[in-house]
């Protein structure tokens, strides 16, 4: 059974940093691209970025709203993807989900709150 479990969310001040994790099981993680999607309270879904597999050179891509501040990485030995978030803004407050490609299974999400 495919499972994705996000962790690492919490309260952080504007300008601060936070690193989210996405632990995967039930599929060949090393061969899969992994994506992050976020959702502010009461709002729609927003794609954040993705990292491809080793075979595709671990290529990353980001939404314009986070480019230069967020970094996606992965550790295939731990079946885990990461989202490093720096220079956080209040508008980054959201539930962050990880999913794979194809986007069939999603984690339960982890809440990030950016507030002073």
Partner 1 sequence: DIQMTQSPSSLSASVGDRVTITCRASQGIRNDLGWYQQKPGKAPKRLIYAASSLQSGVPSRFSGSGSGTEFTLTISSLQPEDFATYYCLQHNSYPLWTFGQGTKVEIK
CB of 80 to partner 1, least distance (A): 18
Instruction: Give 50 or 114: the residue with its C-beta nearer to partner 1.
Output: 50
**Torsion-angle region of residue 22: left (phi > 0), alpha (psi -120 to 50) or beta?**
beta
Beta-bridge mates of residue 81? 22, 74
User: Looking only at residues 67 through 106 of this chain, which bind partner 1 when binding is defined by CB under 8 A?
Assistant: 97, 101-104, 106
Pick the binder of partner 1 from 12, 74, 82, 107 (CB under 8 A): 107
Nearest Cα to Cα of residue 100 among 27, 16, 18, 11? 27
Distance CA 6, CA 25 (A): 12
> How crowded is residue 68: how many other Cβ atoms within 10 Å of its Cβ?
9
Pick the binder of partner 1 from 37, 66, 72, 88 (CB under 8 A): 37
> Is residue 56 within a helix (H) or strand (E), and if so which, with residue range?
none
CB of 44 to partner 1, least distance (A): 5
CB of 116 to partner 1, least distance (A): 26
The contact set with partner 1 (CB under 8 A) reads: 35, 37, 44-47, 50, 59, 61, 63, 97, 101-104, 106-109
């Amino acid at each position: 059974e495919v499972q994705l479990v996000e962790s690492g969310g919490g309260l952080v001040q504007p300008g601060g940093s936070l690193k989210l994790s996405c632990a995967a099981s039930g599929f060949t993680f090393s061969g899969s691209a992994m994506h992050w999607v976020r959702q502010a309270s009461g709002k729609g879904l927003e794609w954040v970025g993705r990292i491809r597999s080793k075979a595709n050179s671990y290529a990353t891509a980001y939404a314009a709203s986070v480019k230069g501040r967020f970094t996606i990485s992965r550790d295939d030995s731990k079946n885990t993807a990461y989202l490093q978030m720096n220079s956080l803004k209040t508008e980054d407050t959201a539930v962050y989900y990880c999913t794979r490609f194809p986007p069939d299974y999603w984690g339960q999400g982890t809440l990030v709150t950016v507030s002073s």
